[in-house]
Structure 1
Amino acid sequence: MTAHPRVLVVDDEAQIRKFLDIGLRAEGYEVLLATNGAEGLALAATRDPDVVVLDIGLPDREGHAVLAELRQWTQVPVLMLSVRDAEQEKVKALDGGANDYMTKPFGIQELMARLRALLRNRVAGAEAAPRYEDAHLCIDLGLREVCLDGRPLALTRKEYAVLAMLVRHAGRVVSQQQLLREIWGGTHVQDTHYLRVVLGKLRQKLGDDPAAPRWLKTEPGVGYRFLPSK
C-alpha cells in the first residue's frame, strides 16, 4: 500500500461522489470514482485500490452482485453504503464478504475512521499480495513489478491486469468472460479478440511459446491458466 492509499468509490449519486472525493482527498487519499458496477469492477481490476466504498443501489446491478464478483478474485476491504437500514441488508452484505456497512446519510469523520480501521487491518496482514517467482520470472503484485531474467518487463496496464488476475488464480482456469468482465467491463464480455491481442503481446514479451507454454496456457473455448513452476 502506498503512502496515499487508493480508495475506489462506486456510487451513482453525483452528490455523494463529490462529497467523498473532496473529503477523502483532503485526508490525503487518492480517489477513483465509478458511477456503476461495471465501471467499479473495471477500476478494481486495473487500478488495484487499497479499499472500496461500494453503494448497494447501483443503476446496472445490485452492489451485492458487484461484491460477489469482487470476492471471486480479490479480498480488498469493502465498505458498503446504503439507504437501506434493515438488519437483513447489513447481514446480507457482511455474509457476502463486505468488511463494514454504513447507512446513508453518514458523517464523513465516521467514514474516515472506518476506512482507517480497514486499512490498518490490511497492513497488519489481512491480505498478503501474491508473489510468484521461479528461475526466470518474478511477479510481485504488491510492488506491481514483473521481471524476466532479472530485468524489469514493461507491460501496458491491460497486459499487467490480465497477468495479475491469472497469477492470483494460479493453477486454475480463469474464463474469458471473467477476464473481460473484470478488466474491460460488463459490456465487453463477448469481445474475446481483446484478450487474444493482450495474451499474444504478453507471450511475446515473456518469450512464452503458446504451443508449449511455460506460464500462459490457453484452455480452448474456456479461458486461460497461469502455470506455476512445479
Structure 2
Amino acid sequence: MNELTILVIEDDKTIQNFLKISLQTKGYKYILADNGLSGISYFYADNPDLILLDLGLPDIDGMEVLRQVRQKSEVPIIIVSARGQEREKVSALDEGADDFVMKPFNAEELLARIRVALRHKGTVKKQMSEFELDSLKIDFEKRKIFVHGQEIHLTPIEYKMMTLLVNNSGKVLTHHYIQNQVWGYDTTDDYQSLRVFMANIRRKIEDDTANPRFILTEVGVGYRFADE
C-alpha cells in the first residue's frame, strides 16, 4: 500500500470525486480542499508529498496558492486546470509548478505525471554520475555522451542544456527557465537562438528528429526530456 499523501485543491465536486477514485486505485492517501485558503492550511498541517492544484478557486487564485507554497517548500505541484492558454502554462511553470495538466484529462495520464513528479522529488538532490536511456548514455564524470555506443560531440552550451534537461527528466522546463539556467539571464521573448541549439542537439542524439524520443517540445512553453 502506498504511504504517500496527495493534497487535492479543487472546488469542483465532480472532479474532486474523480481524482479521489483515481488516487485510491493506486493506494495514495489524499486530502481534499475545496478552496485556496483551506489548501494552504492543509499544506502546513499535513506536509503532503504532492499537490494537485486547480487555478480557478473560489476564494484566492491558484497562482497565489502556488506562490505561497513555493516560498516554503519544493513539494511537487501539478496544476490541473481548464485554463489552457500558453501564457497560463508558462506563468505557472515559471512560478515553480512541476507540471500542467489540462481539463478534461485522462486518469492514467495524470497518474503517470504524478509518478514522474514523485520520482523527481526522490532523486532531485541526488547527483547522477551516469545516465542511460535506450540508445543514449551520458557519463557525467567524464562529460561524455554516447549514442548507440558512439561518442558524440556537444559544444559547452549544448552540453549544459542537455544536462539541465536530463537532470529534470519528465519535467517541463520553460524557455525562460532554460535561458536563465544556461546563460544566467533572460532579457527577451525571442527564443529563436534557444530553438536553434535544441535543433542541433536533436540532430546529434535523435534517430528521427521529426519524431524525437528524448527532447520533447511543449509548444509555446518549452521542452521536456522524456522520462523512462
- SS for the counterpart of 2:71 is coil
Q: Distance in 2 between matches of 1:48 and 1:58?
A: 21
Q: Is contact 2:2–2:29 with CA below 8 Å preserved after alignment?
A: no
Task: Give 3-state SS (helix, strand or coil) of 1:59's partner.
Answer: coil
CA–CA distance in structure 1, aligned partners of residues 119 and 38 of structure 2: 27
Letter in 2 for 1:45: Y
Shift of 1:26: 1.0
> What do you get for the CA RMSD once the two structures are aligned?
1.4
Tell me the secondary structure at the aligned position of residue 72 of structure 2.
coil
Judged with a 3 Å threshold, the aligned counterparts in structure 2 of structure 1 residues 126 and 51 are, in CA distance, closer, same or farther, namely farther
Shift of 1:111: 0.1
Corresponding residue SS for 2:59: coil
> Shift in Å at residue 80 of structure 1?
0.4
- Structure 1 distance, partners of 2:51, 2:113, is 12
Which stretches of structure 1, 4 residues or longer, exceed 4 Å deviation after superposition? none
Distance 1:60 1:126 in 2: 35
Give the residue type in structure 2 aligned to 1:108.
A
**TM-score scaled to structure 1, two decimals?**
0.53
Per the alignment, in what secondary structure is the counterpart of residue 71 of structure 1? helix
Q: Secondary structure at the match of 2:31?
A: strand
Match of 1:71 in 2: 70
User: What code does the residue aligned with 1:68 have?
Assistant: R
Q: CA deviation at 1:37?
A: 0.4
Q: Is the 8 A contact 2:80 2:102 kept in 1?
A: yes
Measure, in 2, the Cα distance between the counterparts of 1:3 and 1:29.
5
Aligned to 1:103: 102
What is the CA-CA distance between 1:82 and the residue it aligns to? 1.1
1:126–1:39 Cα change, 3 Å: farther
TM-score normalised by structure 2 residue count: 0.54
- The number of equivalent residue pairs is 126
Task: Encode CA deviations 1:168-204: one digit per residue, 9 max, x unaligned.
Answer: xxxxxxxxxxxxxxxxxxxxxxxxxxxxxxxxxxxxx
Task: Give 1:18's aligned amino acid.
Answer: N
- How has the CA–CA distance of structure 1 residues 3 and 18 changed in structure 2, closer, same or farther, with 3 Å as cutoff? closer
Work out the CA distance in 2 between the residues paired with 1:3 and 1:82: 26
Percentage of matched positions with identical amino acids: 41
**Equivalent in the alignment of 2:118:** 119
**Distance in 2 between the 1:13 and 1:126 partners?**
35
CA displacement 1:29-54 (0-9 Å, x = unmatched): 00100000011001111101000000
Whole-Å Cα distance in 2 between the matches of residues 108 and 80 of structure 1? 14
Give the deviation of 1:123 after TM superposition: 1.1
Greater RCO, 1 or 2 (C-alpha within 8 Å, sep 6+)? 1
Seen in structure 2, the aligned counterparts of structure 1 residues 126 and 6 have a Cα distance that, compared at 3 Å, is farther
Corresponding residue number in structure 2 for 1:132: none
The corresponding residue for 1:33 is 32
CA distance in 1, matches of 2:91, 2:123: 26
Distance in structure 2 (CA, Å) of the matches to 1:4 and 1:23? 15
Structure 1 match to 2:190: none
Question: Is 1:4 aligned to residue 3 of structure 2?
Answer: yes
Matched, 1:80 2:76: no
In structure 2, how many angstroms separate the alpha carbons of the residues matched to 1:53 and 1:39? 14
Matches within 5 A, 1:130-209: none
For structure 2, the residue ranges without an aligned partner over 5 or more in a row are 127-228
8 Å Cα contact 2:2-2:26 kept in structure 1: no
CA distance in 2, matches of 1:126, 1:87: 30
